[in-house]
């Protein structure tokens, strides 16, 4: 099977990310999408088939989408129009977004639903994202093509790889599947810490800007954590006899 498909390792990594996102209950049933660019300018990318549950996605299931070819939408298991709009717009207009993961995970979406969607640096995970996210305050409905282009325009700063999509969810971008999934995982953890801290009604212990920036920089350069994280998840799936790599 693998000999008939290009980018096999990328497919396996992406399939593992789908499976683990489902296991963490960060999925949205048969909605939400992950994508990974497979050409230099990022306009061709792997994506999950239309409305397949994350817990069932295999490496061989992933479809190839061409952001410059609307006929992609007529192929087998073609992405739904919102997937085409959001991910196609992102890969066309934001070349450094090699991988993109969009979910409506519970705590990130709660954060995106607050009038003030900022994430203050109240712990190490929250500090990871200090000055490294953008907030979209202009939700315009389902992410059809125009909405996708608008969202992509908010991620032009390569330093900012998280978009808190007001009234919607979260978009995480990165260079690789491992980097992007690692960022997705820790953003949800950070959002959960913040939301639970708010629920206590007690004053928050917020780090200084200096220490928050120092911590974020240290974590950005921490060696190999993202790759090791994904490799461990794949090892667990392999030990369990998962068919994700099929």
Write out pLDDT tens, residues 182-217: 999 999 999 999 999 999 999 999 999 999 999 999
**pLDDT at residue 44 in the model:** 92
Is beta strand 162-165 parallel, antiparallel or unpaired with respect to 133-136? parallel
pLDDT at 240 over 80: yes
> What is the span of the domain harbouring residue 179?
2-239
Q: Which two tokens stand for residue 36?
A: 């990974």
* CATH value at residue 13: 3.40.225.10
pLDDT at site 71: 78
Mean pLDDT, the chain, whole residue set: 92
- Answer whether residue 92 shows pLDDT above 60: yes
Higher-pLDDT residue of 104, 143? 104
Number of domains in the chain: 1
Whether 89 is in a domain gets the answer yes
Band (70; pLDDT cuts 50, 70, 90): confident
Residue 149 has pLDDT above 90, yes or no: no
**pTM passes above 0.85:** yes
144 falls within a domain:
yes
pLDDT greater at residue 14 or residue 88: 14
Q: Identify whether 204 is part of a domain.
A: yes
245 inside domain = no
223-232: Cβ within 8 A, 24+ apart: 225/182, 226/176, 226/178, 226/179, 226/181, 226/182, 226/183, 227/176, 227/178, 229/178, 229/181, 229/182, 229/185, 230/13, 230/16, 230/17, 230/177, 230/178, 230/181, 230/182, 231/178
Asked whether residue 76 is assigned to any structural domain, the reply reads yes
């Amino acid at each position: 099977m693998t000999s008939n498909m290009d980018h096999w390792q990328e497919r396996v990594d992406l399939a593992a990310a789908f499976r683990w996102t489902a296991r963490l209950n960060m999925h949205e049933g048969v909605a939400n999408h992950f994508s990974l660019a497979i050409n230099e300018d990022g306009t061709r990318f792997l994506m999950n088939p239309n409305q397949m549950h994350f817990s069932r996605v295999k490496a061989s299931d992933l479809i190839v989408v061409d952001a410059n070819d609307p006929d992609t939408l007529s192929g087998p298991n073609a992405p739904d129009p919102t997937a085409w709009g959001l991910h196609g717009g992102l890969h066309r207009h934001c070349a450094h977004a090699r991988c993109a993961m969009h979910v409506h995970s519970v705590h990130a979406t709660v954060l995106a639903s607050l009038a003030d969607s900022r994430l203050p640096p109240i712990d190490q995970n929250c500090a990871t994202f200090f000055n490294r996210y953008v907030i979209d305050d202009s939700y315009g409905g389902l992410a059809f093509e125009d909405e996708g282009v608008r969202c992509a325009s908010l991620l032009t700063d390569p330093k900012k790889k998280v978009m808190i999509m007001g009234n919607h969810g979260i978009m995480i971008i990165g260079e690789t599947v491992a980097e992007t999934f690692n960022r997705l995982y820790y953003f949800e953890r950070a959002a959960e810490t913040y939301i639970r801290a708010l629920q206590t009604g007690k004053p928050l212990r917020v780090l200084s800007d200096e220490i928050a920036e120092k911590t974020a920089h240290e974590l950005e350069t921490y060696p190999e954590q993202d790759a090791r994280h994904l490799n461990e998840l794949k090892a667990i799936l392999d030990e369990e006899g998962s068919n994700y790599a099929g």
